[in-house]
């Protein structure tokens, strides 16, 4: 229940609903809680990847979720790679990678951040897409 609350699902009435009865934003937060639970059970190091983090949520909920998720990531020692078109300040990232209109990567490191791992951005293959597509938020619950 703690992870459900961290993912913004602290209302007791939500805990009794089946996933199909949740709104799209609530389902996204439920899947985030499932991913957080999986990551907490795995041996370290764990990298959690979140695409379109906070998409479909109102700005206040997205900011609160980002802040809570960032606290959990640091407390658990999990590495997170988060893609978002929104402002990521509440995530307090160590590294921000922005792509310009031509696809060039611009890296900004936070002051006092731990040494960064190398960042490499390259086009993926159709095979990689097929292997990862089941985890996309629009594909339903990952298997």
Please state whether the peptide bond connecting residue 45 to the residue before it is cis, i.e. omega within 30 degrees of 0: yes
Our CA dihedral for 22, 5, 95, 39, rounded to 10 degrees, sits at: -90
- pLDDT tens digits along 29-41: 888 888 888 888 8
Instruction: Flag whether pLDDT at 68 surpasses 60.
Output: yes
Q: Give the C-alpha separation, 96 to 75, whole Å.
A: 20
pLDDT at 136: 67
Model-level pTM greater than 0.85? no
């Amino acid at each position: 229940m703690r992870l459900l609350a961290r993912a913004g699902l602290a209302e007791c009435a939500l805990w009794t609903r089946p996933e199909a009865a949740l709104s799209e934003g609530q389902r996204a937060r439920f899947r985030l809680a499932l991913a957080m639970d999986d990551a907490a059970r795995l041996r370290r190091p764990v990298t959690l990847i979140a695409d379109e983090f906070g998409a479909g949520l109102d700005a206040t909920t997205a900011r609160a979720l980002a802040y809570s998720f960032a606290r959990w990531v640091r407390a658990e020692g999990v590495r997170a790679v988060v893609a978002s078109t929104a402002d990521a300040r509440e995530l307090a990232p160590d590294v921000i990678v922005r792509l310009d209109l031509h696809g060039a990567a611009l890296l900004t490191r936070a002051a006092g951040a731990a040494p960064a791992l190398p960042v490499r951005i390259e086009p993926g293959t159709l095979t990689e897409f097929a292997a990862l597509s089941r985890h996309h938020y629009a594909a339903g619950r990952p298997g």
